[in-house]
Structure 1
Amino acid sequence: MKDVIIRPEQCMGCRSCEVACAVSHSKSKNLFLAPGEEPAPKKRIHVEYMPALGASVPITCRHCEDAPCVSVCPTKALSKDVDTGAVNHNVERCVDCWACSMVCTRFSSLYQLLLVSGCWTSSMSYNRGIIDRRIEGGTVIRCDLCENRELPACVEACPTHALLFLEVERQPETNALNSS
């Protein structure tokens, strides 16, 4: 399955990915017209600067192989596409319970690193907009890997190649506390 690979060491925090994502999800698909649209288009990627690390980190859904958001969804609004591996969102089924947001593990390994290095901040106690509580069309918004594009807009717009769209082989997630 193809996935957006994040290389924080390459990120300069320019937020080009955020702008490209919002424009890609706008009605006009035009950089100059999108900001004036009602409702304003929403981004599905967020760049967070972490001062203790001295780095910016682009954060977006990783479309987990065994996605906990899919298994916890009571209405089956989230589903896994068996062909592409993407986690899809059915707006008509979503009841905005936010259970998906509470179980998202996107950066559990990054958070473990931050805890070890002493960089944890209170702003990291939620999923950083991976499944966003800002609503669009009456429901949650989340990364759809720009389903109507060959390359996600965020990847295409990144001037430093901090974001790549590559075929990845999923490794089973391990619990660091249980490995002895």
Structure 2
Amino acid sequence: MARKTVFIDFSKCIECRACEVACEREHSGMSFISVFEWQEMAAMALNCRHCEKAPCVEVCPTNALYRDKDGAVLLAPQKCIGCLMCGIVCPFGIPELDLINKIMGKCDLCAHRRAEGKLPACVETCPTDALIYGDFNEIVKKRREKFTEKTIELAKTAERIPLTGV
């Protein structure tokens, strides 16, 4: 099964928080993505990575967390007992307790939108295309190819620059 996820290109994030607003709009006021400024140098969005070996799924005592056909980790709220175990083991600290309903909440990659053939709201809304949705391995492959092309171009450019005064 291809694991689809939201890939974040930190170099493109401008900290506009449009992804947060889009997520809140889609999930009744709850945002499952957060934008952080890192040492006043870079902005980065933090969301569920829908890990290949998701510790949250493995630790859930009621099997409230499961995978859909795209590999996204989803929560069955009727099974959740709010024990906080998924939040404790998540390396990114993503699952949060909904204090009103006493159950956990987390990103579902906008399952309702994906069922309609749409992108997750955060991805569709991002004005700089810093958020990319797709098969994780394909995204990484394309990023590596792009990096290799840039490296080759830089090397060609460096060959044409004469070294003077050495």
TM-score (norm 2): 0.74
Q: Which runs of 5+ in 1 are unaligned?
A: 27-40, 107-126, 172-180
SS in 2 for 1:69: helix
Whichever residue aligns with residue 144 of structure 1, its letter is: D
Counterpart mapping for 1:1-180 below 5 A: 1-26=3-28, 41-51=29-39, 54-81=41-68, 83-106=69-92, 127=93, 130-135=94-99, 137-149=101-113, 150-169=118-137
SS in 2 for 1:9: coil
What displacement does 1:65 show?
A: 1.3
- Distance (whole Å) between structure 2 residues aligned to residue 18 and residue 134 of structure 1: 17
What displacement does 1:105 show?
A: 2.1
Which string of whole-angstrom CA distances, capped at 9 and with x for unpartnered residues, describes residues 37-80 of structure 1? xxxx111101111116x111101101111111000011111112
Percent of pairs identical after alignment?
Answer: 43
Equivalenced residue count is: 133
| The structure with more radius of gyration | 2
- Distance (whole Å) between structure 2 residues aligned to residue 148 and residue 167 of structure 1: 18
Contact 2:95–2:106 under 8 Å retained in 1: yes
- Distance (whole Å) between structure 2 residues aligned to residue 68 and residue 94 of structure 1: 16
What displacement does 1:169 show?
A: 2.5
Contact 1:78–1:90 under 8 Å retained in 2: yes
CA RMSD, aligned part only? 1.8
What displacement does 1:157 show?
A: 0.8
SS in 2 for 1:148: helix
Q: Which runs of 5+ in 2 are unaligned?
A: 141-166
